Amino acid sequence: MSSQSSQTYEEPYEETPTILSTESGYASGASSQDSLPEVYFSKPHLKFLNAQLQKLEPQDILRWCITSLPGLYQTTSFGLTGLVTLDILSKFDGPLKSQVDLIFLDTLHHFDETLSLIDRVRRRYGTNIHIYRPAGAENADEFVAKHGQKLWETNEELYDYVAKVEPAQRAYSELQVKAVLTGRRRSQGGKRGDLDIIEVDDAGLIKVNPLANWTFAQVKEYIDANNVPYNELLNNGYKSVGDWHSTQPVSQGEDERSGRWKGRAKTECGIHNPKSKYAQFLRQQEMKRQEEGLSQALQQVTLST
């Protein structure tokens, strides 16, 4: 399977002729040759938007996203919240009917139940799903051949980077993503307790959390009421499903995401951590390689003298 599960046709670009006699002096997407800035929010604007969107229901937040954010995609691991978002979008009609493509990061270590759900979602909604995997690996055996056994234990930071962070960055670059819808909610606990509706990461990517205000009970109620397909593992005590090696069922009274990396302080998989954390990690990896190379060179010099 290729890095993307679907191909999207794009009309060939035709340059709009410049009409000097009617040029207004203002840049517009349709008639001006002037370059337009990338999508961005100033801090006061972001604060204002979050204060207003905080009062709205997910349907209204998603309507705002469709009319306001170009290059909009939905990132998903096919958890319940993301499935609610997908179902809400599928019900929009008229001027707001707009298919938002999905981006799925296949770490090559997902449960079979998760992979089976992808096919059911395709059949139900017909949505384009762009699948991205770790570079240079199409299956778990190729991943082991490249990175060794149980990389998530031997070098957790490297695992997060090669399985999740780098594929996400590649997806955003290749698809020209400017904004993404996520499935994060405050009630999931951990660092998500003070989540805003709109965030902007270190790279300028706009992240929208349309169901940030909802509880797990509200999400499950919507799933049941609308017959939305979901991961069968949720019937076995799971509430948040990630890689098979780091996901367990949740006990009564525990946080929704307590089954992820159970017994450890870790609460996020990497793609929602600051980019600077991974820039620092890559620098450390490079310094380590340089030190090892220098050590080997010194050993060779010593042996030859």
Point out the residues that are catalytic: 269
Could you give the CA distance from residue 305 to residue 303 in angstroms, rounded to a whole number? Answer: 6
Catalogue the long-range contacts made by 63-68 (C-beta closer than 8 Å, 24 or more residues apart): 63/92, 63/96, 65/179, 65/181, 65/208, 65/210, 66/92, 66/96, 66/98, 66/100, 67/96
Query: Do the bridges between strand 206-208 and strand 179-181 make them parallel or antiparallel, or are there none, so unpaired?
Result: parallel
The residues, any chain, with a CB within 8 Å of residue 266's CB and separated by 6 or more, are: 156, 260
Which amino acid is residue 97, in one-letter code?
Answer: K
Phi-psi region of 122 (alpha: psi -120 to 50; beta: other; left: phi over 0): alpha
Residue 87 tokens read as: 């179902």
The residues, any chain, with a CB within 8 Å of residue 128's CB and separated by 6 or more, are: 5, 6, 8, 99, 101, 102
Q: Of 171, 210, 176, 215, which is closest to residue 193 (Cα–Cα)?
A: 215
Residue 200 tokens read as: 């902007």
